[in-house]
Amino acid sequence: IRTIEPDNLNRVTTDGRWEEIELAVESGASESVVPQSLPMSVPTVEGPASKRGVMYEVASGHQIANEGEKRFCALTEEGVPKQLTLQVCDVSQGLLSVAKLVQAGNRVVFDDDDSSFIENKSSGERTWLKPRNGMYIMKLWVERPF
């Protein structure tokens, strides 16, 4: 059972310039994925996985199709720009795959309170995660096109 709080995804700043997104850092995911609506301001484009007809198996055992990918730059809460490429599929929550983060040269530390982070092993730079409902969340801000 997972507690569901009111949805805070896709909040937009009052000036309309930035869209806030939240991604759960997931140790059980083999791929980093988002629904079509996350972020709203970034279009889905065909990617290598969708061209090959890649499918993903979810916890229930069902398979869902790769619908393309979203490529964008986002700012962490620390104000650091991050380039992301996330696969689009029929999921309810954006997920960052720990396996993909580690393959990209990062270390992921899960701890209690506000002590969880993703650390770039080369630079030592840390992106802090917030615990919520048994998950670890990374907030990002995506600049919306005008």
Q: What is the model's pTM?
A: 0.87
Q: What is the pLDDT along the chain (146 residues), one digit of tens a residue?
A: 555 544 444 566 667 789 999 999 999 999 999 999 999 999 999 999 999 999 999 989 999 999 999 999 999 999 999 999 999 999 999 999 999 999 999 999 999 878 999 999 999 999 999 999 999 999 999 998 76
Q: 33 is written with which tokens? A: 């994925």
Strand positions, DSSP E, 15-143: 18-26, 33-34, 55-57, 63-65, 68-76, 81-88, 94-97, 106-109, 116-120, 126-132, 135-143
pLDDT at 9 (0 to 100): 45
Chain-centre distance for alpha carbon 126: 16
Q: Find out whether 52 and 67 touch, Cβ atoms under 8 Å.
A: no
